[in-house]
Amino acid sequence: MKIAVLGGSGHVGSFLVPRLVEEGHDVVVVSRGRRKPYRPHGAWRRVTTVVIDREESEADGSFGPAIADLGADVVIDMICFREESARQLVEALAGRVQHFLHCGTIWVYGPSGQVPAVESEPRRPLEEYGRGKAEIEAYLLDQARRNGFPATVIHPGHITGPGWVPINPAGHLNLSVFQALADGAEVTLPNFGMETLHHVHADDVAQVFTAAMANRSAAVGESFHAVAPTALTLRGYAEAVSGWFGHEPRLAFLPWEQWRTTVDEGDAEATYSHIAHSPHRSMEKASRLLGHRPRYTALEAIEEAVDALVAEDRIKRRE
């Protein structure tokens, strides 16, 4: 098939695009042309790249028609954040594509009631990002059920893998937490460290997309999670990272209002977002309907990312 991937040079696209090429598809990547893939792969030599500034072309109404003119059988949208953007594509692609896949986020949910939480849980997003993605999901699935538009929505967790920094055991992106654990230094976590994070390797997210394409009849009109088999507590995560560097964990704990004063404002905001959600999503639906089995546990995915950061000397392994 001919497949257009919008935003195909990002985290997931760096794994998804080579997979699609290796499966024999004709792949077109649409991007602003400002980023190289996160990992090199020979398959990129067989990819057609189309440079379009989405924001500019959406503003003048040309984006949807430009994507339709590619003549793709399947369109995978990795970079849609507003319902208005999704509407422009649906209006242009209706009746012209076999399958349309949208990359959502587990942030469409608020805090879970029962865990692992399933896709039927009500959408009660806490933040603008999650609200925007929830609106897109609602619109796309309504179009699928009312008008037969062949939409599927994939909701990844905290994407990780080589090439970028994973959410750390304190719930933010500052490498100092990994460095402290690598050094055997004490790390202070909020509360009792029992809130959860739910990582996923980018390649496992890519495989949910390909599984949905391979099981189109089961996937159209549905949403699926893309996460590791289990979530991690902050505490358990920190203990594992300490072990990777040969140390016994040295952890301390502070109530949230005290803990937030120990980090800068940006890190505190990121941590609050993660622990307020404390995600733990189920993969049962993707397993049952799509036959998907994650290759990586959360810790395996994170360890691969951390090893890459060590190799780049961004985390220093002390002798």
Cβ(211)–Cβ(150) under 8 Å? no
Contact 249, 242 (CB under 8 A): yes
Second-level CATH architecture of 2-159+199-226: 3-Layer(aba) Sandwich (3.40)
What predicted TM-score, i.e. pTM, was given to this entire model? 0.95
pLDDT surpassing 90 at residue 253: yes
In the chain, pLDDT over 90 holds for what percent of residues?
92
**In the prediction, which pLDDT does 10 show?**
84
**CA angle (186, 188, 191) in 5-degree steps:** 150
pLDDT tops 70 at residue 319: no
What DSSP string describes 259-288?
HGGGS-HHHHHHHHHHHHH---B--HHHHH
> Residue ranges per domain, the chain?
2-159+199-226, 164-197+232-279+298-311
Span 192-220, pLDDT tens digits: 999 999 999 999 999 999 999 999 999 99
Q: What region does 167 belong to: left with phi over 0, alpha with psi -120 to 50, or beta?
A: beta
Which amino acid, residue 265? E
**Residue linked to tokens 């893309």:** 226
Burial 175-213 (b: 16+ CB within 10 A, else e): eebbbbbbbeeebbbbeebebbbbbbbbbbbbbbbbbbb
Q: For residue 34, what pLDDT band results from cuts at 50, 70 and 90?
A: low
Before 116, cis peptide (omega within 30)?
yes
